[in-house]
Amino acid sequence: MDEQDDIGVPQQPVAEDPLAQQAPPEFVNPAEEPVAPQPAQTARHGVSVGGAIGIAITASLIVGSIAGGVAGIAGAWYATHTDTGSSGTGTIKVLPAETDEPVVAAAAAAAPSVVNIDVSGTPVSAGQDGLPGEHPTVPSGGSGSGVAYKTTDDDGTYILTNNHVVENATTIVVTDASRERMKATLVGTDPETDIAVIKIEKKLPPIKMGDSSKLLVGQVVVAIGSPFGLTQSVSSGVVSAVGRSLPNSLSKDKSSSYPLVDVIQTDAAINPGNSGGALVDRLGLLVGINSAIYSESGANDGIGFAIPVNNAIRFADQLIEGGIAQHPFLGVVGRDIDAPLVKEKNLPVQEGAYIIEITKGSNAEKAGLKPEDIIVSLDDEKILGMDDLLLQVRRQKIGAAVTLGVYRDGSLIEIDMTVGIKPDNLESPSQDSTGTP
């Protein structure tokens, strides 16, 4: 039987290659590295599709985890051969796409821009979140990931992450690739898209941006983050699907404000703690922000979801500029068409978005949309149900002119309208609706 070291990893023979000849990363001893006391953790709950969708944030902080992460640090050294020291601002070199090690190239380019985020929140009192009535108050907290996005005017760094990572946090601590810990301040959050921006005073290398609109199914992607608190972890897979929409209506938690609309599906391993981390292509260009998993076990089952970078930065820029984000909005409440509804209403089509209610004062009302209208197209895109309508509206810019194909009283008509802004005080839709684009 192979001998094992002190963390139970079998000893491996030394490979004869440039990487193996370098000194391996050291493991951090919690007793040797002073770290601020971490609060006891409580679970955070995310979206559940059939009880299985969960946000990829871990509530199990691991103090003294692998130093820098074996995969992430090895990849960066292979690409740069540059000691970044404590500044974390060494030269980042993207390996050519034709390299035999595309995952190494991606990790080398992107890993220095990915951080770990530890948060603590409002203490949980006795009788809350399952605590016994006599139990003393316990601090709450969790761990996630983030991506260096832009340099601030004062040489700090804006970091992209998920809203659910920092939501309600009272303290945010960022650990960069050089293992330096620093406090962060919250710039803004957007529960609608699950995007948040935080700020640190240290200058980190911003990640290079890709174009999520050009992603192809089957394309190689790499996820980088802190699953279960293991910082700088790298996993790889492919794009399984694009344009997925798993909105609140599929969640058992109807009070959740966390929608999954127009997201990337990937089989790259994403686990609790990966939330807010990077999904990059083979050149290390950011294509998505890891956000959620579909799992029966609570861990990776090969189905993860990431917010497309084009959407993420659109709303992140709004948060940086003004602290709030605005969302495109039509002003309709509706449902999918199914066989019983077709029979009951004697509908002329088998698919489409059946309008139940028009939001007062909305652009939909101004354009003349009415209850019982059936939306079957938006510009050149077919609308097969409310999920399609929600997806296509989210992709529009506020103020954009669109043409709706609508069945009314058995006849197909066209209605021109302008995409509006979603009100902040919008009331929840009626129980039988499946979306509020």
Active centre residues (catalytic)? 164, 194, 275
Give dist(CA 329, CA 421) in Å, integer: 5
Secondary structure letter of residue 58 according to DSSP = B
Q: What is the DSSP string of 398-418?
A: TT-EEEEEEEETTEEEEEEEE
| Cα atoms in the 13 Å half-sphere on the side-chain side of 333 | 14
H helices, E strands: number in the chain: 7, 21
Are 162 and 205 in contact, with CB atoms under 8 Å apart?
Answer: no
Are 71 and 19 in contact, with CB atoms under 8 Å apart?
Answer: no
Hey, what amino acid is at 354? Y
- Residue 266 has which token pair? 């990937």
Identify the sign of the CA torsion 382, 385, 391, 394. positive
CA 353 to the chain's CA centroid: 27
Q: How many CB atoms lie within 10 A of CB 322?
A: 10
Within 129-219, strands assigned E span 138-151, 157-161, 169-175, 181-190, 195-200
- Residue 388 has which token pair? 């399609």
Are 260 and 279 in contact, with CB atoms under 8 Å apart?
Answer: no
3-state helix, strand and coil shares in percent for the chain, rounded to the nearest 5: 15, 35, 50
Q: How many CB atoms lie within 10 A of CB 295?
A: 20
Question: Residue 15: CB partners within 8 Å, gap ≥ 6?
Answer: none
